[in-house]
Amino acid sequence: MKNYIDVEERVSIGKTIPLSFQHLFAMVGATILVPILTGMSPSIALFCSGCGTLLYILCTKAKLPAYIGSSFAFIGPMIVASASYGPNAMLSGVIGAGAVYVIVAFIIKHFGIEWLNKALPPVVVGSIVIVIGLALAGVAINWAGLNSGFTTDAMANVPRWAWILVSMLTLGVGVLGSMYFKGFLGVIPILIAMITGYVASLILGIIPQAALQTIASTSLFRLPPFMLPEFNWNAIMLMAPVSFVTLAEHIGHVYVTNNVVGRDFTKDPGLHRSILGDGVATIFAGFVGGPPNTTYGENIGVLAITKVYSVWVIGGAAILAIVMSFIGPVAAVIENMPMPVMGGISILLFGIIASSGFRIFVEDKIDFGTKKNLILCSVIIVTGIGGAAVKFKFLGSDVEIAGVALATLVGIVLNLILPEKSKTEQQENVADI
């Protein structure tokens, strides 16, 4: 007897709505966290998440159940691009990142995927993922109030002990929830932690009175703050290379979904269509003011737990996200998320990102006794975290590549030019023979 709902199957509206809400709750914590961390509007991120998922379903011919949400990999480059060139210019970087996806999808369709595996082996991907997490570590510690020199205007009337208490409570609930929550609660520990921290902030008076008045006075219906992109080569060069990291993550998600559902989605509808859908969703986000998108592992987890693989349920979650983006009080509550709440949960999330890089090393059995692997990992991490930057002129404009983007490019180039074995290792092999 079949105990699952297949990809093309529909279920009744009474069952679809709660199942779709489950997918919405699974992704909403991370999806709204990205814009909060980068100074964007959470409501526009929800809107882009929903529209992006529907575009993805269209590109994959409704044959691959996946939800699209805000990508953590771009947080660092987005912050830098917004601060250096302005939010509108940063959006051109989002479009550039999506364009990389579209180009790669075209190449994969005609030439296969072997070239991408060669350019981005696990040791390179793992090292870059570590950079993405660790580069943001200082931000999390500052927001949590754990930096001895940390002060903000928001903290002026808040006792330090209360600030740290909220951040540690949020972190604690996130940790304990991830370890001990079961069933549906086990899918949304981050959201529960953020709600707990928010309530504690209300009790301790950390949320300013002005913010509470804004929430109370916000109209029920409110348009998300759409923005138009402003072309900027610096933003594009800063963000586009990061797409190669999220491409590797995307491909991994497709293979995991293969295992969960029991189908080979790389053949039907095809890996190129999945990557195309992600790219189109990201380009759309860039044109309306949203963050880059990616497929979500959290929603793959929901598929595995519920055994409901229906694309119709995923589409329902996308529609709910779009509706929520127009509800004013929801957006106002999210936009006034207290900083210690964000700090506490970011300690966990940014650490998990970095740890995911180490997990790649373990799962792919990376041998650091090999000098090439050791050199690649060392150079990528120090380049990405140490503040390295390269400046040059391109089409008459000053362009700068730094941080994760520079580390990605350095890793790809080094991997392609370095031999698999050093001279010493080659000699040792000959001696053993």
* Contacts by 103-110, CB closer than 8 A, 24 or more apart: 104/243, 104/247, 104/275, 104/279, 105/272, 105/273, 105/275, 105/276, 105/279, 106/272, 108/271, 108/272, 108/275, 109/270, 109/272
**What pLDDT is recorded for position 138?**
82
pLDDT score at 407: 85
- Are 42 and 291 contacting, i.e. CB atoms less than 8 angstroms apart? no
User: What residue ranges of the chain have pLDDT lower than 50?
Assistant: none
Q: Is the pTM of this model over 0.75?
A: no
Q: Which amino acid is at 81?
A: A
**Euclidean distance between CA atoms 282 and 95, whole angstroms:** 7
Q: What is the DSSP letter of 42?
A: H
pLDDT at residue 83, rounded to an integer? 87
Question: What pLDDT was estimated at residue 53?
Answer: 95
Asked if residue 169 lies in contact with residue 158, where contact means CB atoms within 8 angstroms, the answer is no
d(CA 60, CA 66): 10
Which is it for strands 389-394 and 293-295: parallel, antiparallel or unpaired? unpaired
Q: What are phi and psi of 116, to 5 degrees?
A: -70, -40
The Cα–Cα gap between 315 and 197 comes to 31
Return d(Cα 25, Cα 30) in angstroms, integer.
10
Distance of alpha carbon 135 from alpha carbon 139, whole angstroms: 8
Residue from 336, 306, 298 nearest 28 by CA: 298
Report the pLDDT value the prediction gives residue 125, as an integer from 0 to 100: 81
Amino acid at 263: R
Render 147-211 in DSSP notation, one character per residue: STT---GGGTTS-HHHHHHHHHHHHHHHHHHHHH--TTGGG-HHHHHHHHHHHHHHHHT-S-HHH
In this predicted model, what pLDDT tens digit does every residue of 332-385 receive, in sequence order?
Answer: 777 777 888 888 888 887 787 788 788 889 888 889 988 999 999 999 999 988
The sign of the CA dihedral 170, 173, 176, 180 is negative
Token look-up 């109209």 returns 219
Cis preceding linkage at 87, omega within 30: no
CA distance 68 to 294: 5
Q: Residue 43: which of 70, 67, 79, 62 has the closest Cα?
A: 70
pLDDT of 156: 58
pLDDT for the residue 353: 73
Q: At what angle do helices 339-363 and 189-204 cross, to 10 degrees?
A: 160
Query: What is the Cα–Cα distance from 334 to 151, expressed in whole angstroms?
Result: 22
Secondary element (H or E) of residue 310: none
- Is 318:50 a contact under the CB 8 Å cutoff? yes
Residue 63 tokens, joined:
């044959």
For residue 60, what is the enclosing H or E element?
none
How far apart CA 94 and CA 194 sit, in angstroms, is 27
